[in-house]
Structure 1
Amino acid sequence: MAEEHPNAWSAEAIRRLRAGGTQSTPTPTPLRRLPLAAIPGIDVYLKDESAHPTGSMKYRLVRAMFGEAIASGAIRAGTPVVAATSGAVAVAGAHFARLLGLDFTAVVPAGTPADVLARVEGEGGGWQVAEQPPAAVQEEARAVAEQLGGHFLDHFTDAERATAGWGEPTVADEIFGQLRREQHPIPEWIVTGAGTGATSAAVGRHLRRHGRTTRLAVVDPENSAYFPAWASGCRDYATGMPSRIPGIGRPRVEPGFLPTVIDLMIPVPDVASIAALRWLRTAGIDAGPATGTNLWGTCHLVARMREAGVRGSVVTLIGDAAGPYLHTHLSPTWVEARGLDPAPYEADIERFVHTGEWQGGERPV
């Protein structure tokens, strides 16, 4: 019997990753139009990353990290994979580990919602509650990976580099490909948040690499270090406080955050993110809190364009779906318990959608 080539498993694993578990190349996620009848001449689009198999934009980043780890030899047949996360990265990590026949463990902070843990298990992964406080979960997960002889999937450090090197179409590549058939194929702005920093870096690099006139705006929730770091030029800025908007905002500046590719950062109050999330739901758009943050920043930019008499398009992202947040950010009880009152901000969005008048920028952050 012929001996199997030493790279056979890696080659098959990369093929599976690129095909997304199918026999064909994965199709782009949908680009959805957001109707704004009161603002003619400006088209707003939502790039729906919740359409990925694991329901979030983290699918794209985690796939690239698995691909880079396999290509570098860090992941081989039978290598256990460990991540420190209590959200969408854990679900995507379990998904790809199962696709490749690997064991996956998410090291999660105490208090991680049961539905998140159930989703990890549903994708074939395991989890364990960290013994350390949230700030030390990353190092604890790294230690677990070492004990298992496995690979630590460090999404805060590796996602940006892996996305840049993976070679697959980025979210920006897909946006411009899909806009070719639209009235304004070169958007004035692309709006995204920053968690690991990988998505904003991928978009910013694409704009410069292809000589686009499109500008990149990054929205940032309360407690996050990214906006003050960008505004001050201080790369080691830290707030020490966690973001209340899942998926975006960090208490420190992560290695993948590239401020030099960002044209504008917009700080967004958490209550405004929740108000925008609620409005999206009434408009029939299924999305999570980070999409609310994106929408608030998009309204701000569209209002600026309208005031300047600029026609064109703006694109933002649906990062994930509403399901995981029905008992948190979409629950009136949960919101009220945190002293938040979204009503005035919801009124701002309703007024903007129906009249084109924007007062959101006048509210304090």
Structure 2
Amino acid sequence: MTYLDHAATTPILPEAAAALTGALSTFGNASSLHSSGRRARRAVEESREVIAAALGARPSEVVFTSGGTESDNLAVKGIFWARRAQDPARTRVLVSATEHHAVLDAALWLADHAGAEVTLLEVDDFGRVHEDTLRAAIAEDPASVALVSVMWANNEVGTVNPVRELAATCAAHGIPFHTDAVQAIGALPVDFAACGASALTVSGHKVGGPYGVGVLLLGRDVACTPISHGGGQERDVRSGTLDVPAIVALATAVRIATAQRAERAARLAALRDELIREVRVRLSAAVLNGDPGQSGMDGGPSRLPGNAHFSFPGCEGDSLLMLLDAKGIECSTGSACTAGVAQPSHVLLAMGLAPALARGSLRFSLGHTSTVADVRALAEAIGPVVERARSAGLAGLRRAKSPAAAEV
């Protein structure tokens, strides 16, 4: 099997797996006061310190959740509700048009159920939000903005946003800024304090940790109304019994992913560039989506090191995916959270791609287990697969236009 879908989930790191299985052999509720409970609490707090140190945060700013989706919902809804409670005029929510659905749908839910006014920030052809775009949106009525949410790096096309500049613009107006950094952790230098964000989302299974655990880094002075209630755990922001083994494994994964980030990013960027070259050599019509991958505005990477996203004219992405899968090559048509939905990606449409071209797109994402052999396997398969998918699409189009088909 050739696995090229690390952006959806990456295999658990051996060290994280060992930490998980080791912690599973112990027991104790971290909220209990007896010895087993205190032992569990100690494991949680040590993990909190490890994650904080790795991501440039204070331990008190680490709020454990069930994953990226919950963290995004907690940030968007919780901060909105808290801001509106402080000032009823704060009803505007600004999010980029290319956000993950965990942010986008949470904001739209607030519009449908809580009186929010959602503004989708335009992006350029690479899928990037520019600081002047945000500044202009805020300037329409700064006193009405409750929060802004722009992802650190796009999960589909890999484009990196200028997070520090965006956060600084928000700070100048006293507006909380949230960033979904699920794809950035372990791939880009992420420092919570230095970037200026008010809240930041982390997901375990994207960095080599287990499924079902994540973190919301939440500034100590950022008010956030809980979206679930119960025992008052995690600063009374996120109630619920803590999954101690998963938290221990997550801390291990974050520590290793950030410590090895520079070396791994360089290796993956080289593999990514080779993958892009191989596809272009074999298919000159293939369109690379997202930033080309040169230096960003702040001198850092402008594209995720392991991301290569292509559109193949005349093809359907689902057909390409299944044909590659039959050859043992696994990739994605976009976000795994919305996979299987036969519609063009909202990310690509926001970037200006035509719907037909957007539907014929695939994301190839590399990770810590990726090798040169994976790139070679794709290079050998992609040409015949695209040709077959294009032929099938043209045949289907001819059948649809034939008089006999019209009569049926």
**How high is the TM-score relative to the length of structure 1?**
0.36
**How high is the TM-score relative to the length of structure 2?**
0.33
Higher relative contact order (CA 8 A, sep 6+): 2
CA radius of gyration, larger in: 2
